[in-house]
Structure formats: structure tokens, C-alpha cells
A and B are shown apart, each in its own frame.
Chain A
């Protein structure tokens, strides 16, 4: 019987084997593809905190993914062109150092998630879904109408941002950087869900009225989860821009929000490795079926329907020992 724990070990084996295979067979493309999976997995880990563990069905996480991406591209663009980023209260220049860019991307994504959370968490259910979608779409259209940074055409940064003593242009190096961040985001999620705070936000998902009645300020709990979730997704956006050396308004589009949600649902809601498995499944479908037809999403839709009807716990849920014993 394959358990979830055993499956997790398989995931880690794959994460280590893929780049080695890429090197042996001299196929850097597969390393880049695996890097993309990991970055999208990080975005999913962020959303999973809000959606999977706290029940906040955000349809606007593209906003944080895109903000993280744009912060990275804009800082890099100003560094390359040696232009001042902003003048007030003193001249601030851009940077092409990841160690500077990452905190900025995380901070600004967190700031946006705080503002969006403060307003949208006053609603719930379908209104929450709609209001988060509306915010993301506002940012999408703003990015299109912002000619300084490429508008609809997006913004290229030519060179990947740098880390001291590392060649980030090397696919394997960048893969390992992203893998470290994935591990960090999973570890943060793990620590959170096993903390007293984690107990509070998982309870909010199940019975918010009861949580209020024991004196826990559920609004603050949900807001903090939403901000942490936005920060992690923003970091993924930053890495995604570096991977592609390009950012465009499409990262802010509702379709991106939908795709991140699909990773979480496919892999298994409220499961630590679920989003990574979901993202991997998504990319494999895209690469295999996409070779035969442009409309490969038809099959994705069919798989989603079947999963929701017959296997709501997602791919990870198939390996849940408890569920297997119940059967």
C-alpha cells in the first residue's frame, strides 16, 4: 500500500533526479521545465494556505504573483539602465541583486495582499471570490496601460538577476535556488499549520461562528493568513520573472489565478505537496497533450470534472492512508 508519506519521498526523489537526468542527457530544457513546475508549486503553496487551510477562495492571487513579478522586473530594469527608481525622499536606484529584490518583492506583495485583504475579507463566499478577482483585474488593466514598463508588450530584463558567487544563468543553479525556496515555503506552511495560529485558521474554515464565540478575532486571523499567502505567491512571481527574464500583464490575468487554483485542486487541497504535484501534472499535460492539440485544456477540464466528482482529495488524497483504511 502506497502511503502519502511514501509518495512524498518519491516527490523528493524526482526533484533531485530530474536535474541530474537533465545534466546527463544534456537537456537543460527539462531542468528549466522542472524549475517552472517548482515556481508554480510555490505559488500554489501560497494559495493553499488561504484556500486549502483557511477556506478563503481567492480568485485574485494572480495579483500577488504579478506584483512580485513586476517588482523584480522593474528593479532590474532600473539597475540595467542605471535610472533612479524613485526620487522621494531620496534617490533610490534599482537592483539586479536577488538578495535585494526578493525582500522587496515579498514586502510589496504583502502590502498589496494587506490592502486587498482588508477590503475583501469583509465579504465572504461568492462576494469574496468576485472582489479578489476584481482587484486582480484592476491590476491587470493597470499594467496594460503603463507604458513606462512595456504596457501590453511586457518588460524584458535580458539577464537573470544575480546572487553572490553563483551563476544564476546556469539552469541547474537557478533550479536549486528555486528548490530552496520551495523547501522554505513548504517548511513555513508546515510550521504555520502546526502552530496555535494554524489551529485557529483551520478552525475558521470549518466553523467561523464557533471560533468567534471562543473569543478569537477571526478577521485578524484571516487577514494574516491572506497576507502570508500573498507574500509566498509574490515570491513565486519574482522567481518566475527571473526564470523567463520577462514579465507581461498576462501574469496578472484571471487565467493565472485560475491556474494556481487548479494546481491546488489537482494536487489536493490542504496538502503540503499538493500544489507541486498539481503544477507538475498541469505542465506534463501541457507538454504532452499540447504537442498534439492547441486545445489541450479540454482534457484538463475533463480531468478536473472527474476529480471533483470522484476524487475530491486530489492526487495526494489517493495516497492518504487514513482514507484507504476507511475504504
Chain B
């Protein structure tokens, strides 16, 4: 238990008779990337939404760093250290890339309710934001309006927003979707680097990236976790091959 930063027990959510997540039990250790894979509609994104608190669960509990956060609101969960990316890019479209990152830094630096201080003169925030932009390889586009960035750059910016929060855990929902080969490699290197500080629960369809990154993999099908194990164990799991991977590796 002490080794777990995030521990989800028995989490369920139904819409009428349809069980989107069914008694999910999954955990995340320190220094770990735990990948969650499964076919479309399996309940992966709903699980993320339940963990961040934007979808209310029916039953179950969520423990973050030994604290029960099950009844906290989405904002409270974000404040105490859950940081996410969205399946479909969610950024502040009219802000520049730099401003997006600064927004994400506001809460942690207790700057949100500074009413009359000039943001432009806050050197510390700008330096931090620029460092994050360098980490995600977007420093050359820091002044570009976010809505005008390419799809791949928006995915990177989303990850940057999550990084800026300096959270206890990252929940990344398909962060590599739409990235080119260079972008994917950059993301893989970045995730390997940041997992030491904040472990990652990763939803991803790019199996090469998953297998390159994940310490453990869980497979979700029809809202149920059907297998959990190391990459090697998952690759050799017949059930997983039948229901999701569909091929022998």
C-alpha cells in the first residue's frame, strides 16, 4: 500500500442498464507508468473522468497518496495533485502557447487571485513557463495563438499544461494521438523523464509507445479490467490477444 500513489477500488458507473465501468480496481505505483489499453468504448476515458471527478461514480473509492479523494470535487482533486490531458485537445484557444502554460502555473504558485499585479512583470512565472515549453519542444512557438497550432503541437501543449501543475499523478488520455514519429519519440523520452517525480496512468492506442513506456499494463474490456501485468505478461496473455491486440507478438 505504501508503494501506491493512486489506488482505485471497486469503481463503477452505469448509465441506466449500461455499465461503463464495472468494479474497476487499478493502482499506480511511485516511479511507474501504468498503461491502460482496450478497444474503443471500453470505458478508459470514463475511468479517467471518474478519477478526475468530472463524472460521478456510483460506487467505489479513490485513494491518492493515502488520502481518500472519492468525495472531492474535480477542482479539489486537481488542486491536490491530479493532472490530466483530454482525449480531444482542450486548450485556451485565443491564448498563446506561453499564456496557456502560465495559466496552468497560476494555481500552484497561488497567483490566481492577484487582482492588480501585472502578469507581464511576473518573471518567475514566465521563466517556468518557458522551461516547460522547452521540455515539450514548443519554445519556438511560444507566442503563437494556441488555436493556430498544428494538431501535434496542441497535443504537446496539453502535456505541457499537465506538467505545469507539478502534480502527484498524471492521467494522460491518448497524448500521442496524431503525433508524427519525432513527436512520439519526444513524448516517450519526456514521459520516461517525468515519471520519477509523478507517475503516469496512460491511455494510449499506439502499442509501440505503450510497450516502450509502460512498467505495467492493464487491459479494459466492456468496463472491466480483464488483465494486469508487465508488458511481457500482457503480450503473452491469450485473452488479451483475443479481445484486443488480435495478433501474436
Interface on A for B, CB 8 Å cutoff? 191-192, 194-200, 202-203, 206-207, 209-218, 220-221, 224
Cβ A203 vs Cβ B79 within 8 A: no
* Closest Cβ neighbor of A224 among chain B residues: B113
Contact of B75 among A200, A206, A217 (CB under 8 A): A217
Cβ B106 vs Cβ A206 within 8 A: no
Cβ B93 vs Cβ A207 within 8 A: yes
Q: Nearest-CB distance from A228 to chain B (Å)?
A: 8
Compute how far the CA of A234 lies from the CA of B102 in the bound complex, rounded to whole angstroms.
33
Cβ A195 vs Cβ B117 within 8 A: yes
Contact of B114 among A197, A206, A214 (CB under 8 A): A197
Residues of B within 8 A of A217 (CB): 75, 112
Contact of A200 among B78, B90, B103 (CB under 8 A): B103
Cβ B90 vs Cβ A199 within 8 A: no
* Closest Cβ neighbor of A192 among chain B residues: B115
Cβ B122 vs Cβ A216 within 8 A: no
Interface on B for A, CB 8 Å cutoff? 52, 54, 74-75, 78-79, 83-84, 86, 90-95, 99, 102-104, 106-108, 111-120, 122, 125, 161, 164-165
Residues of B within 8 A of A196 (CB): 106, 111-114, 117, 119, 122, 125
Contacts A/B (CB < 8 Å), 22 sampled = A191-B118, A192-B115, A195-B114, A196-B112, A196-B119, A197-B115, A199-B99, A199-B106, A200-B112, A203-B95, A209-B54, A213-B78, A213-B86, A214-B165, A215-B75, A215-B79, A215-B107, A216-B103, A216-B106, A216-B112, A218-B75, A221-B112
* Closest Cβ neighbor of A198 among chain B residues: B119
Compute how far the CA of A214 lies from the CA of B107 in the bound complex, rounded to whole angstroms.
7
Residues of A within 8 A of B74 (CB): 212-213
Compute how far the CA of A211 lies from the CA of B54 in the bound complex, rounded to whole angstroms.
13
Residues of B within 8 A of A212 (CB): 74-75, 78
Given A196-B117, A211-B92, A213-B83, output 8 extra A-B contacts at Cβ < 8 Å: A197-B114, A199-B119, A203-B95, A207-B92, A211-B103, A213-B90, A214-B78, A216-B103
Cβ A210 vs Cβ B92 within 8 A: yes
Cβ A215 vs Cβ B92 within 8 A: no
Residues of A within 8 A of B92 (CB): 203, 206-207, 210-211
Residues of B within 8 A of A202 (CB): 95
Compute how far the CA of A196 lies from the CA of B111 in the bound complex, rounded to whole angstroms.
6
Q: DSSP class of A's interface residues: helix, strand, loop or mixed?
A: helix
Compute how far the CA of A224 lies from the CA of B116 in the bound complex, rounded to whole angstroms.
13
Cβ B119 vs Cβ A195 within 8 A: yes
Residues of B within 8 A of A221 (CB): 112
Contact of A216 among B75, B86, B95 (CB under 8 A): B75
| Interface core residue of A202, A215, A221 (most chain B CB under 10 Å) | A215
Residues of B within 8 A of A215 (CB): 75, 78-79, 107-108, 165
Cβ B75 vs Cβ A195 within 8 A: no
Cβ A199 vs Cβ B103 within 8 A: yes
Cβ B103 vs Cβ A214 within 8 A: yes
Cβ A199 vs Cβ B102 within 8 A: yes
Residues of A within 8 A of B93 (CB): 206-207
Compute how far the CA of A220 lies from the CA of B104 in the bound complex, rounded to whole angstroms.
17
Q: Nearest-CB distance from A300 to chain B (Å)?
A: 29
Q: Nearest-CB distance from B111 to chain A (Å)?
A: 4
Compute how far the CA of A127 lies from the CA of B107 in the bound complex, rounded to whole angstroms.
29
Cβ A207 vs Cβ B75 within 8 A: no
Q: Nearest-CB distance from A252 to chain B (Å)?
A: 29
Closest 4 CB pairs of A and B: A215-B107, A215-B78, A196-B111, A215-B79
Cβ A210 vs Cβ B90 within 8 A: yes
* Closest Cβ neighbor of B84 among chain A residues: A213
Residues of B within 8 A of A198 (CB): 119
Q: Nearest-CB distance from B182 to chain A (Å)?
A: 26
Q: Nearest-CB distance from A313 to chain B (Å)?
A: 13
Contacts A200-B103, A215-B79, A216-B106; A191 near B90 (Cβ below 8 A): no
* Closest Cβ neighbor of A212 among chain B residues: B75
Q: Nearest-CB distance from B153 to chain A (Å)?
A: 16
* Closest Cβ neighbor of A203 among chain B residues: B92
Residues of B within 8 A of A197 (CB): 112-115
* Closest Cβ neighbor of B94 among chain A residues: A206
Residues of B within 8 A of A216 (CB): 75, 103, 106-107, 112
Q: Nearest-CB distance from A212 to chain B (Å)?
A: 5
Compute how far the CA of A207 lies from the CA of B86 in the bound complex, rounded to whole angstroms.
13
Q: Nearest-CB distance from A258 to chain B (Å)?
A: 27
* Closest Cβ neighbor of A210 among chain B residues: B90
| Interface core residue of A203, A206, A210, A213 (most chain B CB under 10 Å) | A213
Cβ A214 vs Cβ B161 within 8 A: yes
